[in-house]
Amino acid sequence: MSDSPPPPVVIIGGGIAGLAAAFRLTQIAPATRITLLEADDRLGGKIRTETLTADNGAQFLVEGGPDSFLTAKPRGIGLCADLGLLDTLQGITPQPHRAYVAWGGTLHELPEGLTGLVPTKLTPILRSRLLSPRGKARLALDGVLPAQTGTEDETLGTFVRRRLGDEVWERLVEPLMAGIYAADGDLLSLQATFPQLRDAEIRHGGLAKGVLAARRSTPSPSGPAFKTPSAGLESLVTALRDRLAASGVDIRVNAPVSAVMPPDASSGPTVILASGERLDAEAVIVATPAFVAGEILATAAPALAEDLSGIAHASSAIVTLAYPTPRAGIARDAHGYLIPRALGSPILACTWSSLKWEHRAPDGYVLMRVFLGRYGQEDVLAQDDDALIALAVAEVQQRIGALGQPVLARVQRWMRGMPQYLLGHPARIARIDAALADLPWLALAGMAYRGVGLPDAILSGETAAERVHAARIFRTGVGISA
């Protein structure tokens, strides 16, 4: 028997899912050799925090991707606890958290009582000018409309229109949904995104009644709904990198993978890098975007690769702008506004980061993030950075008023950065799971499968690590080891 160590578990992708997978392996199997390969020159994927200095010397903390995570899903907080970062977390600034929707040439405050996308309080809806009297009357029918029979999936847009009417969909639910998925809700699978709404219809006969019943039966977590490290989300990536390095994980950046070859009778899988290097592996975790996973698994698992490649992705960009604090125009108790798809704008939303989070801008300045591009409306991203900045500046001036020229502007593009859970996604995931059942040496992780938030991505990485640890294939003659 050879005295050489077993080959490593190879993790392809150094975003939060791949990093979480590697960290979980170091926790449950400390002796495991791990190699983590990242195609980019940095770890973290869409988590990117920068400290930028304006020409006048003012410094700003800028998030290029997500700026926080949802605390109701446990693995964001859980991973921070594992890394000793709980004391660094902050919630949204402790002031009233109003948000607005652009409609009819003005900004309308979102009515109170929106729970799981569903209006649950009558008085704020009646007072709001966002909906017409006809739209409010149509919303009220949700309480008397019979539940639709059958188990067939439908799109989120079709479902909400059927229960709550066109106006509630276009002016309330769609802009909120787009803030999560950057999606076209008329293509999005209800079952894959908000299955609890269909459950509310079936079990309670109305969405508001169902959502309120679910809230009563499931206590809400205490504390802020969203949290983030005070130094920015990339501090989570830094902590993971440092812990992995201290555990002996071989971390390689600028190391794109071109293919994965399956095991044969005498050896485990082989990972082939674009450089031509070949790495023998004990097991492989692919934590890349689904379309990349499809490319590198095309030889090892053609049917699986076809399903992975079929998961659609939306492209988007974030334009960050910094201004001297205006005397008027920005409500001090609000965090931004949403723009419905029905208005035809390439812009989804604008958030006022420095009013939402502390430590984002120095006194006397406001930091804003303008979001552009959504599924089916991505032509705007063909323009150069200067054009996107001009669009963002014009948008802010149109909604808020003349602010002059920003002292800082930063564009971050995410091409094919957001997976789309289109109609048919649950069936696709079932096929992917069935294919993986015959490939115990392989696991997948990332946002393309069961959730697009950071806690979902973290959980997917940890689950992938536990999968390969439970069915690890050694080449030492021992066989399967737990």
Domains of the chain, earliest start first: 9-45+233-311+421-481 (3.50.50.60), 49-92+314-419 (3.90.660.20), 114-217 (1.10.3110.10)
Q: Which two tokens stand for residue 307?
A: 């399903």
215 backbone dihedrals φ, ψ, rounded to 5°? -65, -40
pLDDT at site 331: 62
Q: Which of 64-78, 162-176, 234-248, 328-342 has the lowest mean pLDDT?
A: 328-342
pLDDT at site 478: 38
**CA neighbor of 352 nearest in space, from 373, 337, 372:** 337
How many residues would you count in the chain?
Answer: 482
DSSP structure string for 89-115 = EEES-SS--EEEEEETTEEEEPPS-EE
The CA angle 47-441-419, to the nearest 5 degrees, is: 35
- Residue 161: pLDDT over 90: yes
DSSP 414: E
pLDDT in tens, 275-293: 999 999 999 999 999 999 9
pLDDT in tens, 386-419: 999 999 999 998 888 878 889 999 999 999 999 9
The CA angle 475-481-482, to the nearest 5 degrees, is: 150
pLDDT band at 149 (very low <50, low <70, confident <90, very high): confident
* C-beta of residue 5 within 8 angstroms of C-beta of residue 443: no
Q: Looking at 218-301, list the stretches that DSSP marks H as alpha helix, in order from N- to C-terminal side.
A: 234-246, 290-296
Q: Which of 93-97, 105-109, 305-309 has the lowest mean pLDDT?
A: 93-97
- Residue 476: pLDDT over 50: no
- Residue 330: pLDDT over 70: no
pLDDT band at 237 (very low <50, low <70, confident <90, very high): very high
Predicted TM-score of the model (pTM): 0.94
